[in-house]
Amino acid sequence: MAETKTEGQKLKEKLFMEDKNGWEELSEAEKKVVLKFSDEYIDFLNASKIERECVKSAVKLAEENGFKPLEKFKKLKEGDKVYTTNRGKNVILAVIGSEPLEKGLNVVGAHIDSPRLDLKPNPLYEDSGFAYFKTHYYGGIKKYQWVTIPLAIHGVIALKNGKNVEVKIGDEEDDITFVITDLLPHMARKQMEKKLSEGIEGEDLNLLLGSVPYHDEKVSEKVKLNILKILNEKYGIVEKDFISSELEIVPAFNAKTLGFDKSMVAGYGQDDKVCAYCSLKAILETKAPKKTAITLLVDKEEIGSVGNTGMESRTFETFVGELVHLMGEDKTPNIIGRIFSHSKMLSADVDGAFDPIYASASERRNASFFGMGVGLNKYTGARGKAGANDANAEFVAELRKLFDDNKVKFQISELGKVDEGGGGTIAYILANKGFDVIDCGTPVLSMHSPYEVTSKFDVYMSYKAYKVFMK
């Protein structure tokens, strides 16, 4: 029996901003599609723990989907699929649109670096019968989260002969593992009285590597010698080769489905590989767009987007310059500036989800929740929006319409309470150059921890948002 609604109920329905949990709106068939999408995402995460691996995974998928490297083209035309990589740590993919570049681009940009521990350039030492690697943490971490968990070593050692030795050790079930030790509670009275931020100190994040001395009474540092002997046999390296290495310590455990209801993903590096994967999938499936569509996967966001693999570099402008040239559009003055001022971008970066255990850090009316879709952050920044790209209201309105028309469930939020939260993304960088930009990404629990959590529903909606934006 259908109940008739009162005038007040009808009025409220019309005027209030109210929303349902996204899972409740899905049919069984749709639910299957959402869950399946994250199975592939989990595989991607496990193959791509660091930026170099992420680039490799992206290039592999791109090639399988008909993308070709930029240098293969003498000319570009509508529908062409092109990509370029930068120093193995960036990748840019484009599908050429039917309109001239001058009319603007639709860009989705994510970052593929994640908080971790990097080896120091002179990392190996011995102390009291143990061998260790010294580390320097990368990005914003809570140091206490990185002790007593299984860790793996990923990266490269660049040799003087021009060759790279690739390292990826510690992830497989039947592989060895590494760990950073912590003090037992029985002896930790003084440590336990310290502030959380000081309980584990940066110089104590030393990775345990071995404990067997080399058999020779005549030498000192026998444990270190034995480790170097093993490394020399395995990788052909000597101690000095660490100087030219980039070795990253990442959690050894793999990403998995979380929960009895299988609704979530737990895994390392979801900031920002979740948006990287979704934006990659979106461009791989983009065909014949009106405006040229671009997915941009950059490095170094976690330390300020600096350097020649970060968003602040000229790499992206150079790429657009190449497109202009190959499209024969370089006959007009200030073409790059004009393209940028007509362009739009979703800065695809994760959002801090509301966590009821730490509810007091968020302001409920402006927080993002699991199961409510992709999160839009009109602005980031901290203390009076400082450093924020504050998206223009007109651009937000345009996106609301696009998402509503295409059944993309989204929510609007900001990162934590005023004067408590705050952060930055790559959004402001292209905004400064004339783009309309907004942060648009998946809400995450335990962000920047070794095991971050996302909702499969929101992951799918992020992908859908990027896809309709490019179309």
Contacts with Mn ion, residue ranges (CB under 5 A): 271-272, 349
CA 462 to chain CA centroid, Å, is: 13
- Distance (Å, rounded) from C-alpha 266 to C-alpha 146? 16
Of 271 and 436, the one with the shorter C-beta distance to Mn ion is: 271
- Distance (Å, rounded) from C-alpha 84 to C-alpha 82? 7
- Distance (Å, rounded) from C-alpha 456 to C-alpha 144? 28
First to last CA, the chain: 43
- Residue closest to Mn ion, measured at CB: 272
- Which H or E run includes 430? helix 427-431
Of 206 and 446, the one with the shorter C-beta distance to Mn ion is: 446
Of 207 and 311, the one with the shorter C-beta distance to Mn ion is: 311
Of 349 and 414, the one with the shorter C-beta distance to Mn ion is: 349
Q: What are phi and psi of 111, to 5 degrees?
A: -115, 150
Of 76 and 141, the one with the shorter C-beta distance to Mn ion is: 141
CB of 203 to Mn ion, least distance (A): 23
Cβ(346)–Cβ(108) under 8 Å? yes
Cβ(225)–Cβ(154) under 8 Å? no
In the sheet that holds 256-258, the strands lie side by side as: 256-258, 264-267, 452-455, 443-445, 351-352
CB of 271 to Mn ion, least distance (A): 4
Which residues are registered as beta bridge partners of 167? 155
- Distance (Å, rounded) from C-alpha 145 to C-alpha 143? 5
Of 152 and 350, the one with the shorter C-beta distance to Mn ion is: 350
CB of 268 to Mn ion, least distance (A): 12
Parallel, antiparallel or unpaired: strands 264-267 and 256-258 = antiparallel
Cis ω before 127 (30° cut-off from 0) = no
Of 51 and 272, the one with the shorter C-beta distance to Mn ion is: 272
CB of 144 to Mn ion, least distance (A): 18
- Distance (Å, rounded) from C-alpha 92 to C-alpha 386? 29
Structure tokens at 16: 């209030």
Which among 272, 253, 278, 375 has a CA at the least distance from the CA of 40?
A: 278
CB of 115 to Mn ion, least distance (A): 6
- Distance (Å, rounded) from C-alpha 426 to C-alpha 348? 9
CB of 6 to Mn ion, least distance (A): 46
Cβ(108)–Cβ(469) under 8 Å? yes
- Distance (Å, rounded) from C-alpha 452 to C-alpha 460? 17
CB of 441 to Mn ion, least distance (A): 8
CB of 304 to Mn ion, least distance (A): 11
CB of 272 to Mn ion, least distance (A): 4
Parallel, antiparallel or unpaired: strands 68-69 and 81-86 = parallel
Cβ(424)–Cβ(332) under 8 Å? no
Residues 174-189: b if buried by 16+ CB within 10 A, e if exposed: eeeebbbeeeeeeeee
CB of 353 to Mn ion, least distance (A): 13
Of 349 and 436, the one with the shorter C-beta distance to Mn ion is: 349
CB of 378 to Mn ion, least distance (A): 17
